[in-house]
A and B are shown apart, each in its own frame.
Chain A
Amino acid sequence: MRNRLLWSALALAVALALPLVAPHAEYLLDVAFLVLLYGAMATGWNVLGGFAGQVSFGHAAFLGIGAYTAALLVAQGWPIWATALPAGALAALYSLIIGWPSFRLRGPYFSIATIGIGEATRLVALNWTSLTGGASGLTLSSAPSPVVQYYAALALCCAAVGAAAWIQSSRFGFALAAIRSDTDAAETLGVDTTVAKTQALAISAFILGVSGCVYAMHYLFISPDSVFGFSTSISLVVMPIVGGLGTVLGPLLGAAIFTVLREQLEANFQNLDLLVFGVILCAIVLFEPGGLLGLTNGLRRRWLKRS
């Protein structure tokens, strides 16, 4: 436990110092920003998909609502940082509305419903032209400096991982673990499974909503196909599975690998990234369902046993 605290403090110190140590390494800072942003998004998805075992293929909806909320409020003259909370809150509110009907479904049926919800939300954003600008999207006029963006993403990611760590060690986390394992058995032991799942979804959606604000701040242009896109939802599923489903740090690890690999692939072999991610996903599901964290833990145990 003390070890883990020490490592967290060390990692945080390195992350805080990165812009000072490398003030002109713009590319490095950009990649680090993306790792943190996607890490926060994956961590948010994992609260519902990993801890509670409710795999959603529609989480782009919450990212999109957060991003659009931020962009629309900025257009009203709000400073971008002030839009973070409304972005998260609106995403969470939307999650409550869609959670109520969709949690009547179990397992794969829930997952299929989330595909429909994600796509329906994208289509509404695409066609509600008076509000969202339709396919031409929304543009923000000015961005904070890359260093400010980086620290915003760092704060977001720390908050998300901190929330995940708290959930995992809490009574609420216990309820989610029971639901993930056997929802009916959890219910017979007094766990209000629908309430717990809805809470997990709302926390998850809130993190995605705030991430949407940071996303808008960075890209300055958002459109239904980018933030609400199905491929965004898919990458939110892929990152936690690659890193370690239902763990605290797995999603961040998965996001780091996902982001760095995608940057490299997009630069060198365009359109190959989907193939590579598909292969990695298959390999992990087949050979190491615990993800990379599961793999490293297994190797460490083996090594400890030998020595």
Chain B
Amino acid sequence: MAEALLTARGLTRRFGGLVAVRDVDLDVREGEILGLIGPNGAGKSTLFKLIAGILRPTSGTVTFAGRALAGERTAAVCRAGIASTHQIVRPFRNLSVRDNVLIGAYFGRRPRPPHERARQIADEMLATCGLSERAQSPASTLTLAGLKRLEIARALATEPKLLLLDEVLAGLNPTETDATLDLVRGINARGTTIVMVEHNLRAVRGLCSRLVVLVEGRALVEGSPDGVLADPRVVEAYLGTAHA
């Protein structure tokens, strides 16, 4: 078994009386594509935000490549090697597509790369994500599919060891979905570990090496995609007891 790149233990986050994430243990292995699935409101995005440092955990620890991360600021987590995309795209609308990616290349890691190197990284990531032709356009002129790819390109420009993808397929048509799946596969093939939150179960089944199902804030089931999706507890969580 490959070594765990990221380990979360007893991760809990409360919002007042609501416990969004409850005592979650999670191991992300080096080189895998781990799918995080579960019904709406299960706490998937909250778990992502806890790992990315956008939210602080109420309790629990996150260890990444041997370093304790829980409680670190978002920028520090990014520079430690965890990049994330936003579920609802958040481009820098007044900057060009290329400058959006340059921000990631300039600031995403320490030591900061020199200008030439940063530009080179940005151009590579634009090419990887199929955005080279739109490099000089303002980010506000991209379609939703383009903006989703821009989110990925920006995150990749920080040269992460671990990439968190939050519903990058949502809102895409079948052609765009297939292109994005190929993109994610390509990124993983080049050595980046990926954790993705996704509702598209067909895509998840084809892409992920392992799944974790989150239900009401708890990690309910974990295992290979086929095994997990056939598990009666998972079917029940998605469809109700009548189908289980």
A182 touches B78 (CB 8 A): no
B154: chain A residues at CB < 8 Å are: 189
Range of interface residues on chain B?
20 to 34
B79: chain A residues at CB < 8 Å are: 190
B155: chain A residues at CB < 8 Å are: 189
Select one of B84, B91, B95, B112 contacting A188, CB under 8 A: B84
Q: Which residues of A contact B (CB under 8 A)?
A: 171, 174-175, 177-178, 180-182, 184-193
Would you list 12 pairs from A and B whose C-beta atoms are within 8 A, ordered by A residue? A175-B107, A177-B94, A177-B95, A184-B54, A186-B92, A188-B54, A189-B108, A190-B75, A191-B103, A191-B107, A192-B73, A192-B75
Does B86 sit at the interface, judged by CB under 8 A?
yes
A178 to B105, CA, bound (A): 13
Select one of A181, A182, A184, A189 contacting B107, CB under 8 A: A189
Select one of A174, A188, A193 contacting B52, CB under 8 A: A188
Select one of B74, B91, B94 contacting A187, CB under 8 A: B74
A190 touches B93 (CB 8 A): no
Interface centre among A174, A181, A185, A189 (most CB of B within 10 A): A189
- List the 9 closest pairs (A to B, CB-CB), nearest first: A181-B92, A190-B107, A190-B108, A190-B78, A185-B90, A187-B74, A189-B104, A191-B107, A178-B103
A300 to B146, CA, bound (A): 31
Other A-B contacts than A177-B99, A188-B74, 5 sampled, CB-CB below 8 A, are: A177-B95, A185-B86, A188-B52, A188-B84, A189-B155
Select one of B92, B102, B104 contacting A190, CB under 8 A: B104
A187 to B73, CA, bound (A): 9
Does B61 sit at the interface, judged by CB under 8 A?
no
Residue of B with least CB distance to A53: B94
B106 touches A188 (CB 8 A): no
Does B158 sit at the interface, judged by CB under 8 A?
yes
Does B22 sit at the interface, judged by CB under 8 A?
no
B95 touches A181 (CB 8 A): yes
B92 touches A177 (CB 8 A): yes
A182 to B73, CA, bound (A): 17
